Amino acid sequence: MRVIVTGGAGFIGSHIVDALVARGDEVVVLDDLSHGRRENVSPSAELVVGDIRDAEAVAEVFGEARPQACLHLAAQADVRVSVTRPDFDAEVNVLGTIRLLEAAREHGTRIVFASTGGAVYGECAEPATESSHRAPLAQYGTSKLAGEEYLATYNRLYGSEHSALRFGNVYGPRQDPHGEAGVVAIFLGKLARGEAPHIFGDGSQQRDYVYVRDVAAATLAALERPGRLQHRHGRRHFRARPLRRLPARVRRRRRAGLRPAPARRAAAERPRHEPRRAGAGLLGADVL
Ligand SMILES: NC(=O)c1ccc[n+]([C@@H]2O[C@H](COP(=O)([O-])OP(=O)(O)OC[C@H]3O[C@@H](n4cnc5c(N)ncnc54)[C@H](O)[C@@H]3O)[C@@H](O)[C@H]2O)c1
List of domains in the chain:
2-169+212-223 (3.40.50.720)
Which protein residue's CA is at the shortest distance from atom 28 of ligand 1? 75
pLDDT for res 262: 54
Query: For residues 19 and 227, what is the distance between their CA atoms, to the nearest angstrom?
Result: 22
Query: For residues 14 and 218, what is the distance between their CA atoms, to the nearest angstrom?
Result: 14
pLDDT mean values, one per 10 residues, the chain (288 residues): 98 98 98 98 98 98 98 96 98 98 98 93 84 94 97 96 93 81 78 82 79 96 73 44 64 56 42 31 23
- Catalytic hit among 140, 150, 171, 211: 140
User: Catalytic site residue 140?
Assistant: yes
Query: For residues 21 and 45, what is the distance between their CA atoms, to the nearest angstrom?
Result: 7
| 199 within ligand 1 shell (Cβ under 6 A) | no
| 7 within ligand 1 shell (Cβ under 6 A) | yes
Q: What is the pTM for the complete model shown?
A: 0.84
pLDDT for res 203: 77
| 32 within ligand 1 shell (Cβ under 6 A) | yes
Q: Which of 6, 12, 33, 180 should be mutated for ligand 1, with most atoms under 8 A from CB?
A: 12
| 118 within ligand 1 shell (Cβ under 6 A) | yes
Which atom of ligand 1 is the closest one to the Cα of 77?
43
Compute the distance from residue 126 Cα to the ligand 1 centre, in Å: 28
Q: Which of 39, 54, 170 should be mutated for ligand 1, with most atoms under 8 A from CB?
A: 170
Compute the distance from residue 184 Cα to the ligand 1 centre, in Å: 17
| 247 within ligand 1 shell (Cβ under 6 A) | no
Which atom of ligand 1 is the closest one to the Cα of 35?
37
pLDDT for res 116: 93
pLDDT for res 261: 56
Asked if 246 contacts 187 with a C-beta cutoff of 8 angstroms, the reply is: yes
| 279 within ligand 1 shell (Cβ under 6 A) | no
Compute the distance from residue 12 Cα to the ligand 1 centre, in Å: 7
pLDDT for res 284: 22
